[in-house]
Structures are given as C-alpha cells and as structure tokens.
Amino acid sequence: MNRYDLDSHRKLDNMADYSGLSDHELLGLMTEGNQLAFECLFDRYTSAVFKFCYSILLDHQGAEDATQDVFVKVWHKGNLWQPGDATFKTWVLTLARHHCFDVLRKLKSENKKHQGFFQNLFSFGSSHQEMNSVEKSLDQVQYSDQIKDIIFTLPERQREAVTLVYYMDIQNVEAAGIMNIKPAAFDSLLARARRELKKKVANAKELQARGLNYETK
C-alpha cells in the first residue's frame, strides 16, 4: 500500500481518506513517515489504550502521559508489528502494559505507594453473560467502596486477566498473548478469578443482609 487509494488512484489528503484503511495499511503508510496515517491509528485506538493504562495506574494524568508515550513508541516501532503475529490492538495493548509496569516500577523505586489495580473495572460494563451476573450481584452490595475492595482483593494477575477480557473486551487467546502465558494457563487463571469474585460477592451480600460491614482480608 502506498500513498494512493488503489481503487480511485487519487491522493489521500485528509483523515476521511484514511478511515477505511486497515491497520496494516495505515502502519505501512506510517512507517514511510505519513503523519495522517499515524493520526488515524491514534484516533482509532487512543481510547482503548487510555482506559487500559488508567486501569493499571489509577491516575488520570498518569494514564494520559502513558498513552502519549505508548503512541510515541508506535511511531518509532510500528515496523515491528506483523499482522500474522497478533492484531494491532493486541500489540499496542501489550506495549501499554509493559510501559505501565515500567512506570509502576519507577514509582516503587521512588517509594510512592501504588494504590492497586482496576478500580473502575465494572464502570464500563461487560459484554459477557457470566460476568454480567457477577456485576448485577455487585450492584446489590450497598457501598461502592465495598465493590472496589472486593476487586482489590483479587491477586494481581487475576485482576489483570479479568480486566483484559471483561473490561477491554479482548479475546482469551489474545489476552494470553498480552500476558505472555499459554491460552490454557490464561483460561485457568480467568476461571479462578471468576470463582473468587463470585465467592467474595456472595460473602459481601450475606454480611449486608445481616447488617454487617464487609471487610476484606
């Protein structure tokens, strides 16, 4: 793919001309220095990258900065993505994950306390029927802080798996690639996370029914 529309042979001069191009075509143009192709990719995926960064960093400004940094890497390393390896969305979210963990490591080295992961996991909804049942149960818990506490008590990798699948709507196989584990291992990890969430939600509801406060351990 070059700078010309193959169907009409007219020059691509504005963003509207690029909107119908595939990620692969846009990356090809971008690696040739095409700024509009890069801007189209940015517009296409910036929301997903920002939400994923925010779910890890729990800081709006930090997530904005991370998103900008990730797309700087896309501009410089876009030629490393190959469409046969993974989707572009999976690739860019993998970049985002690595970058955010680098940020957290730097914060830790500076003795800045990280408050946890995935505070707003359910605020964006879920397209998965099984997780919807958990979400409905969570909605019945009286205090939103309790919901956050329940999510925070999941082990880190379980929280990450749940977020990728139910928050980012990533398929299990692609999510496994992002986490650099085998699909079977990811499925097992996600299943454990769902079981743990259901158990904790049931416990919170029972305590609420008895007029007691839910306390995480």
DSSP of 25-92, one letter per residue? Answer: HHHHHHTTT-HHHHHHHHHHHHHHHHHHHHHHH--HHHHHHHHHHHHHHHHHHGGG--TTTS-HHHHH
* 133-143 per-position pLDDT tens digit: 555 554 444 33
Residue 25 buriedness (CB in 10 A; 0-12 / 13-18 / 19+): middle
Class of domain 129-209: mainly alpha
pLDDT band at 116, cuts 50/70/90? very low
- Name the H helices within 60-182: 60-77, 88-109, 129-139, 144-152, 156-162, 172-179
* pTM for this prediction: 0.61
pLDDT category of residue 215 using cuts at 50, 70 and 90: low
C-alpha–C-alpha distance, residues 21 and 30, integer Å: 12
Question: In the CATH hierarchy, which top-level class contains the domain 15-109?
Answer: mainly alpha
In the chain, which residues fall in CATH 1.10.1740.10?
A: 15-109
Q: Where in the chain is the domain with CATH 1.10.10.10?
A: 129-209
DSSP state of 154: S
**Between helices 23-30 and 35-57, what is the axis angle to 10°?**
110
For the chain, the first-to-last Cα distance in angstroms comes to: 56
pLDDT in tens, 56-104: 887 889 999 999 999 999 999 888 887 777 888 888 998 998 999 888 8
| Cα dihedral 59, 65, 66, 68 sign | positive
Bridge partner list, 11: 4
pLDDT at 11 over 80: no
| Nearest to 24, CA basis, from 72, 91, 70, 101 | 91
Q: Which residue has the higher pLDDT, 216 or 194?
A: 194
